[in-house]
Structure 1
């Protein structure tokens, strides 16, 4: 009679190895998060007339407005440019986060871990 292996292809999972890999992944994730928090990205609108600078965590650090964008008769356009620049910067933050965190978190969803 043939002997049946366990559910993992006949071998027992090496829990020590899994724990070590999880700890390495945690360290890499923390490092990527720290890098992201220190990063700054800039978004722009109106061909660079308005720029917004955000940290990698999404905190607004600065807004720069070229004097050419300031028209007292058309404040609404300037407001729209500011909103567009901030949105562009947020898009850049999301892109940067994907670059930094994606390789580390991309495969976690398949593990069946809650919240991932």
Structure 2
């Protein structure tokens, strides 16, 4: 037998054909570059959460770090510390929601491209 195994036949290469695996690899590399850029943008973002119509404000970055807390003197009442505590918890929850919304905004379109028909198996 003179027929030799040609591995390029498995991937559509050889005999002048295009290699679809090369195209898939290029798409994956582009996706990785875009994901890394989005992650850097999220990490550099300043996110603010608040409660009590701005009486308590919490500032953080996209990586989850809280970088500042502002409390209005109007809410400081030594006889009602519980309300202040509730406002701080509310502001932190609002910060977490806003951080998640930012991540979904930046990463959502990219992550959506990974799964589903034509995407990477198991990620849809």
For the aligned pair, the TM-score class normalised by the smaller chain equals 0.7 to 0.9
- Paired residues in the alignment total 106
> Structure 2: which 5+ runs fail to align?
1-16
TM-score scaled to structure 2, two decimals?
0.79
1:54 and 1:90 in contact (8 A); partners too? no
- Residue-by-residue CA offset, 1:3-60 (whole Å, 9 max, x unaligned): xxxxxxxx98600000000000000000000000000110100010000111112111
Q: Show structure 1 runs of 4+ deviating over 3 A.
A: none
- 1:1-116 to 2 correspondences below 5 Å: 14-110=20-116, 111-113=120-122
RMSD between aligned alpha carbons? 1.9
For the pair shown, the structure with the greater C-alpha radius of gyration is 2
Which range moved further: 50-59 or 11-20? Answer: 11-20
> Structure 1: which 5+ runs fail to align?
1-10
1:53 and 1:89 in contact (8 A); partners too? yes
Q: Larger relative CO (CA 8 A, sep 6+): 1 or 2?
A: 1
TM-score scaled to structure 1, two decimals?
0.84
